[in-house]
Structure 1
Amino acid sequence: MSHPVNDHEQIIKPNPLNKNIVGLGANSFFTDFSTEMILPLLPIFLERFLHATKTQIGLIEGLAELSVALLIALSGFYSDRLGRRKGIVVFGYGLSNLIKPLAFFAQSAGMVAMIRIGDRLAKGIRVAPRDALISASTPNGTSGFVFGFHKMMDGAGALAGSLATFALLWALGESEETFRTIFALSLIPGLISMAILVFVITDAPFTPSPAKQFRPDALPAAFYTLVFFQTLFSLFAMNYSFMILKAGDNGVALAMIPLAYALYNLTQAFFAIPIGRLADRFGKATLLAFVYLAFGLGAIAMAWGGVWGAWIGFGIYGFFAGGFNALAKAIISDTAPQELKATAYGVYYTSVGLATLASLVMAGWLWDRFGSTVPFWVAGISAAVLAAILYACRKRFILADQRNNVPS
């Protein structure tokens, strides 16, 4: 016969939104606030005022992503050897938030490239140990929700930044001086993010990895399956810069582009947590396949042309962004050993970053040679095909799902 459970015997589920998770989310909110005051304007600034070609813009963005790839694995491995995370994270965020506003002084595409590369190098330093710190602060069975929450805070900060940029453009006009003023003002939310990181976040020390060099067989097969799919997808995808340029090509007024970008950030923030919750319930690989498909549909909408195609494309692209890296990070959180988590995140970002460099350079070349529509059709069809393949192969991720008692 059953009997009541007293207060001491009750099982209390841990709260996934603890101080570290909320604090790291707030830090990301203000960092993305700062970043997204700049990023929606940067491709336009390069094209209109610094007279860069699409190939040059693609090369700049590709080199920026390569910069992340060059440092992220090293930073993750060093963090695992050190046994601590916070110091590296603080240094990476601090460097990034001081470099980005230097776009105010840029007089050439080369100067913008150096600023973008410096910012991305700083991201390469911080991302793997930050994600490992999030993972260490995440209760079992909630990784999809927690990384979804973090992505939601990213998206909310990005939404605030792009809306601020829209308001400033609307009030001050579309001159080069306005662009530079916005770049300078981005320093303010960056400093707020640093204060949160320094004074709110606590480290999560652990026994460091004894390995003197990385052994590939130390990470499970599910991890490498994830890296394979994400890298292959990244070879065909493209980032925000070409979406922004295509919106202008489709007829969206310059002052309205930050608002369209705000729609992307709004849908990203809105769907991030639901995607994470559904992933915890139905399987992360399954949701990742739907995210791939969403990107494909968004790219096809942009390729179809017209102002409405651009707005629809930005909205769908936000859904994709709400899940792409968050789901991958949740799978890594579930599969990688604690002492190798930052290393695993580093390997993942390095592979995706190298693929992104190739993708962006090729997208720029295709645009300059064949027009704006071709790279979007290539990206859209490729993403849809890869989504179907990933869905068919989703059981390869069963290790990640079983650890959280999630059906495949």
Structure 2
Amino acid sequence: MKKQPLNRNIIGLGANSFFTDFSTEMILPLLPIFLERFLHATKTQIGIIEGLAELSVALLIALSGFYSDRLGRRKGIVVFGYGLSNLIKPLAFFAQSATMIMTIRIGDRLAKGIRVAPRDALISASTPKGSSGFVFGFHKMMDGAGALVGSLSAFWLLWWLGESETTFRTIFALSIIPGIISMLILIFIITDVPFTPTPAKRFRPSALPSQFYWLVGFQTLFSLFAMNYSFMILKASDNGLALAVIPLAYALYNLTQAFFAIPIGKLADRFGKAALLSFVYLAFGLGALAMTTLGTLGAWLGFGIYGFFAGGFNSLAKAIISDTAPHDLKATAYGVYYTSVGFATLASLSVAGWAWDNYGSTLLFMFASSSAIVLSFALFVMRDRLTHP
């Protein structure tokens, strides 16, 4: 009899991610505007902050993943990473400069870097065979649902309290409440899945299969051209969306992310994860094109399409790694993957901020759109290289 994919660990880790993203997304849609309007940061500074934050995740993911595989246990590292993150994020309440926000963002992302690889490996270890696309889609859906509630909470508080700096800081402080709930779920509901680690030895790249490296290559190249949420928010502001409405548009992004995450996973299990990933690339390209050419309507369409993209980009990659990486090197594989994508993201966001400050947003978004569309066709043609030896 086939095992049910939604067991206690999968549901508990999903609930943990729901409340963690609830907390995080009360802050994230407001940070670019807070930096620009109240702390007077340039687009270049915002790009560097976000790029360094993503690189911080990547560097520690590799180390924590390798250590987790050597230790033979996952939960302790996951608890530490989530706990540190949920303590650091609300400190944005006290920030008086872009440098302070950068320190908080890097600290939060370092904490994420500690937890992500062992958490994904714990999800993988709890997943019945043949259900990885659905399970990682479910986890992404819970991420998106928590993010939706968080961004709607930010919108409601901005509407109720007004668009002042005090309101922004109050929202940052309140984000600690769902963070505490997420920790209680993690500590009291999740159980570890111990395994016998291989003897400690120097990691050899040849220990990971060729499919893994094809995946890393495509995802890294794509990340060199893509932009994250911060530039989408700033572009929406340029397109004419009112400040108080931007969290609502960001909520649309989270809604579509949550809505499509499981269908994307199910379709991937049926028709191929690499094929679905190529379609996700195409969606990003079309979303960036809409934001460039359609004004306010394009901002709404862009956020909606970007949510579809986010519902599949990392979850499909993680499912491919779950299917192809050896059991005792899964966390290491996730670490290598995130490290490569993290370096590409730092380069991408730093250059994107500089390009926006010097040449405007239109050229930037058109380049990102055309690059994503080209890569989507290339990936579709070469999709078998990511899933078959």
Q: Give the TM bin, normalised by the shorter chain.
A: over 0.9
* SS class of match (1:339): helix
Tell me, yes or no, if the aligned pair for 1:222 and 1:335 is still in contact at 8 Å: yes
Q: Which runs of 5+ in 2 are unaligned?
A: none
| TM-score, scaled relative to structure 2 | 0.99
**Counterpart residue type for residue 103 of structure 2:** M
1:123 aligns with 2:147: no
1:386 aligns with 2:369: no
- Once residues 42 and 294 of structure 2 are traced to their aligned partners in structure 1, the CA distance between those partners, rounded to angstroms, is 21
Structure 1 match to 2:211: 222
Tell me, yes or no, if the aligned pair for 2:324 and 2:387 is still in contact at 8 Å: no
Structure 1 match to 2:272: 283
User: After superposition, where does 1:105-120 map in structure 2 within 5 Å?
Assistant: 105-120=94-109
Structure 1 match to 2:284: 295
* SS class of match (1:183): helix
- The total of aligned residue pairs comes to 389
- Once residues 199 and 300 of structure 2 are traced to their aligned partners in structure 1, the CA distance between those partners, rounded to angstroms, is 51
User: After superposition, where does 1:140-219 map in structure 2 within 5 Å?
Assistant: 140-219=129-208
1:330 aligns with 2:302: no
CA deviation after TM superposition for structure 1 residue 13, in Å: 1.4
Tell me, yes or no, if the aligned pair for 2:320 and 2:387 is still in contact at 8 Å: no
Structure 2 match to 1:9: none
* SS class of match (1:38): coil
- Listed one character per residue, the Cα deviations across residues 23-75 of structure 1 (whole Å, up to 9, x for unaligned) are 00000000000000000000000000000000000000000011111111010
CA deviation after TM superposition for structure 1 residue 305, in Å: 4.1
1:314 aligns with 2:303: yes
**Counterpart residue type for residue 258 of structure 2:** A
Which residue of 107, 122, 135 maps to 2:124? Answer: 135
1:361 aligns with 2:350: yes
Tell me, yes or no, if the aligned pair for 1:209 and 1:340 is still in contact at 8 Å: no
- Once residues 132 and 27 of structure 2 are traced to their aligned partners in structure 1, the CA distance between those partners, rounded to angstroms, is 31
**Counterpart residue type for residue 181 of structure 1:** T
1:342 aligns with 2:331: yes
Tell me, yes or no, if the aligned pair for 1:209 and 1:339 is still in contact at 8 Å: yes
**Counterpart residue type for residue 200 of structure 1:** I
Structure 2 match to 1:376: 365
- Once residues 351 and 164 of structure 2 are traced to their aligned partners in structure 1, the CA distance between those partners, rounded to angstroms, is 31
Post-superposition, which runs of at least 4 consecutive aligned residues in structure 1 deviate over 4 A?
none
- Once residues 232 and 15 of structure 2 are traced to their aligned partners in structure 1, the CA distance between those partners, rounded to angstroms, is 27
* SS class of match (1:84): coil
| TM-score, scaled relative to structure 1 | 0.95
Between the aligned residues of both structures, percent identity stands at 82
CA deviation after TM superposition for structure 1 residue 211, in Å: 3.7
Tell me, yes or no, if the aligned pair for 1:232 and 1:355 is still in contact at 8 Å: yes
Q: Which runs of 5+ in 1 are unaligned?
A: 1-11, 401-408
CA deviation after TM superposition for structure 1 residue 298, in Å: 0.4
User: After superposition, where does 1:88-99 map in structure 2 within 5 Å?
Assistant: 88-99=77-88
- Once residues 192 and 359 of structure 1 are traced to their aligned partners in structure 2, the CA distance between those partners, rounded to angstroms, is 34
Q: Which has the larger radius of gyration?
A: 1
CA deviation after TM superposition for structure 1 residue 259, in Å: 0.2
CA deviation after TM superposition for structure 1 residue 399, in Å: 2.6
